[in-house]
Amino acid sequence: MSTTVSSPRPGTPRHAGAPDNPAAMSAKPVSWKTPVLLAAFALIALVFFGFLAPNRNASFGISTGEDFFQLPALDINAFAGGIVLSALLVGLAAYSIYLKTKGRPAPGWLTVTFIVLFVAAFLIWVVGGARTPSISLAGLIAGSVTLAVPLVFGSLSGVLCERVGVVNIAIEGQLLGGAFTAAIVASMTQNPFIGLLAAAVAGALVSMVLALFSIKYLVNQIIVGVVLNVLVSGVTGFLFSTVMQEDSDRYNSPPGLDAIEIPVLSSIPIIGPILFRQTLVGYLMYIAVLVVWVGLFKTRWGLRVRAVGEHPQAADTLGINVNATRFWNVTLGGAVAGIGGSFFTLVAIDSFTKEISGGRGFIALAALIFGRWNPIGAFFAALLFGFADNLQSIVTIIGTPVPSQFMAMLPYLVTVLAVAGLVGKSRGPAASGIPYVKG
């Protein structure tokens, strides 16, 4: 999906003074979008999280009972904390405006820091205004990582497919297929590891249909993706109703994957549970992110993949088999998403239900775009969305004035802002979505 954001499109009102000469387009001026948006959000933070914050303490528990040394809970005055953080936000926004006047774009760290500070200010405000102004920060973060696992796998699948030039709207279907297969195979073999493998195979199969139709039959990739989601939903729903519900002991009671604790390291506060107290799927997530990143940007394979995704003709001229590369990459992506799907039935819930993936494939798609088609970026975007997801349930428990529905809406809103180019530039692989016909 070439969400080309800043290149002028036909019909888009051009920036004042931009010449109509295509050669001059590349040197177009830095957009006002980011500074303006940052300033707007900084003002929101200043008013709501700063001036309108309640004058009481928000308490963040840092240590859990299992840690080997205990840190005291962090008590922050919501009013003071809000003012300080929003002042920092205003400063960052002012800096980006200053850079803009010098004709320079806001650097990446600025946007990232802004997001982190904004989230922190928001958190202090939410907790400070709650009925019970106390949450466990460790639990919040650990929960976010857990919820982010399928999102990370899904967005990695998206990265693998889009980098090679195939739009993958079928992430949802791949997750769902993986979840179903993991449940049924793990139940029948009573072995979660075989279930995990089967989930990868199922995801790959879904992906192969996508690859077959979009590469061989040149069917529009978005159509195939949309239809595949419906197909997988129908097949899994059908088999769930006919097979699984008939004999759920035999077909729908998969043994779960247990968390593997790495001794000593897992007792480090905050970081321990995140990095060293995960299930196999959780560890695989970290490995997959690193492997995909290294693979894409540091190996010959990755260079080829990106060449196919950016300029298939050039890649073809150099002797790369474009369509074969696409086919196998898309298949690999499906396998990755399938593993992510197994998270639902082998880790989160110990049985399959209809539509268990619940639209997370689309959030994964959002994470992919917000992470700018980069595995590491997608990982952090997925974490952010997992955080929003987790915060949504916590907000309901501690009782804050913010409706939980708005928290649930957040990932989608953020994505709209991202694709609309309001949060920096987000551009996908050039040839993504375009079938390649040789000659």
Partner 1 sequence: MSDKHPPKHADGGHGTTPSGRHHHTTPAEEETAAVVSVDTAGGAMEPSAVPATAQSGQLPGGPDTLLRRIFTGSGMVSVLAVLLALIIGGLLIASTDQRVATTAGYFLARPTDFLAAVWDAATRSYIALFQGSVFNPRGNSVAAQFAPFMETLTIATPLITAGLGVALAFRAGLFNIGAQGQIIVAGIFAAWVGFALHLPFGLHLLLVLVAGIAGGALWGGLVGVLKARTGAHEVILTIMFNYIALYFLRYLLNTPAFQRPGESNPISPILDPTAVYPQILGTQYRLHLGFILAIAATVLVWWLLNRSTVGFEFRAVGANPKAAQTAGINVSRSTILVMAIAGGLAGMSGVAQVAGTEKVLTDGVAATYGFDAITVALLGRSTPWGTFAAGLLFGAFRAGAVQMQIQTGTPIDIVLVVQSLIVLFIAAPPLVRAIFGMNPRRKKPARAAKSRQAATTGGAA
Residue type, 46: L
Q: How far is the CB of 206 from partner 1 (least distance, A)?
A: 12
Unique residue bearing structure tokens 């040789």: 438
Using CB under 8 A as the binding rule, whether residue 419 contacts partner 1 is answered as yes
User: In whole angstroms, what is the distance from residue 366 CA to residue 322 CA?
Assistant: 26
Q: What is the CA radius of gyration of the chain?
A: 23
Contacts of 35 (CB under 8 A, 6+ apart): 93, 96, 97, 99, 100, 106
Specify the residue, 12 or 101, whose C-beta has the smaller distance to partner 1. 12
Span of 61-69, 326-334, 341-349, 403-411 interacting with partner 1 by CB under 8 A: 403-411
Taking residues 363 to 392 in sequence order and writing x for each that binds partner 1 by CB under 8 A, - otherwise, the string is --xx--x-----------------------
Span of 123-131, 253-261, 264-272, 408-416 interacting with partner 1 by CB under 8 A: 408-416
Q: 45: closest CA among 91, 77, 99?
A: 91
Using CB under 8 A as the binding rule, whether residue 309 contacts partner 1 is answered as no
Using CB under 8 A as the binding rule, whether residue 437 contacts partner 1 is answered as yes
User: In whole angstroms, what is the distance from residue 234 CA to residue 81 CA?
Assistant: 50
The single residue among 71, 116, 230, 397 that binds partner 1, judged by CB under 8 A, is 230
Contacts to partner 1 from residues 331-360, by CB under 8 A: 354, 359
Using CB under 8 A as the binding rule, whether residue 233 contacts partner 1 is answered as yes
The single residue among 60, 114, 118, 362 that binds partner 1, judged by CB under 8 A, is 362
Using CB under 8 A as the binding rule, whether residue 416 contacts partner 1 is answered as yes
CA angle (75 as vertex; 69, 81 as ends), nearest 5: 130
Specify the residue, 10 or 103, whose C-beta has the smaller distance to partner 1. 10
Using CB under 8 A as the binding rule, whether residue 235 contacts partner 1 is answered as yes
Contacts of 273 (CB under 8 A, 6+ apart): 64, 138, 142, 266
**DSSP result, 140-160:** HHHHHHHHHHHHHHHHHHHHH
Specify the residue, 28 or 354, whose C-beta has the smaller distance to partner 1. 354
The single residue among 57, 221, 323, 357 that binds partner 1, judged by CB under 8 A, is 221
Unique residue bearing structure tokens 């077909």: 251
Contacts to partner 1 from residues 148-207, by CB under 8 A: 167, 169
Q: 184: closest CA among 261, 139, 238, 227?
A: 238
Contacts of 293 (CB under 8 A, 6+ apart): 374, 375, 376
C-alpha 312, offset from chain centre: 27
Structure tokens at 38: 């940052």
Instruction: Please state the φ and ψ torsions of residue 437, each to the nearest 5 degrees.
Output: -115, 120
Span of 56-64, 83-91, 102-110, 213-221 interacting with partner 1 by CB under 8 A: 213-221
First CA to last CA distance, the chain:
23
The single residue among 150, 192, 421, 429 that binds partner 1, judged by CB under 8 A, is 421
Q: Give the single-character DSSP code of 241.
A: I
Specify the residue, 287 or 324, whose C-beta has the smaller distance to partner 1. 324
Helix (H) or strand (E) holding 135: strand 134-136
Q: How far is the CB of 413 from partner 1 (least distance, A)?
A: 6
The single residue among 48, 283, 286, 412 that binds partner 1, judged by CB under 8 A, is 412
3 state SS of 297: helix
User: In whole angstroms, what is the distance from residue 105 CA to residue 371 CA?
Assistant: 18
Structure tokens at 231: 């197909």
Using CB under 8 A as the binding rule, whether residue 413 contacts partner 1 is answered as yes
Span of 18-26, 145-153, 186-194, 239-247 interacting with partner 1 by CB under 8 A: 239-247
Specify the residue, 148 or 367, whose C-beta has the smaller distance to partner 1. 367
Using CB under 8 A as the binding rule, whether residue 213 contacts partner 1 is answered as yes
Using CB under 8 A as the binding rule, whether residue 403 contacts partner 1 is answered as yes
Contacting residues toward partner 1, per CB under 8 A: 1-7, 9-13, 167, 169, 209, 213, 217-224, 226-228, 230-231, 233-235, 237-243, 354, 359, 362, 365-366, 369, 403, 405-406, 408-409, 412-413, 415-416, 419-422, 433-435, 437, 439
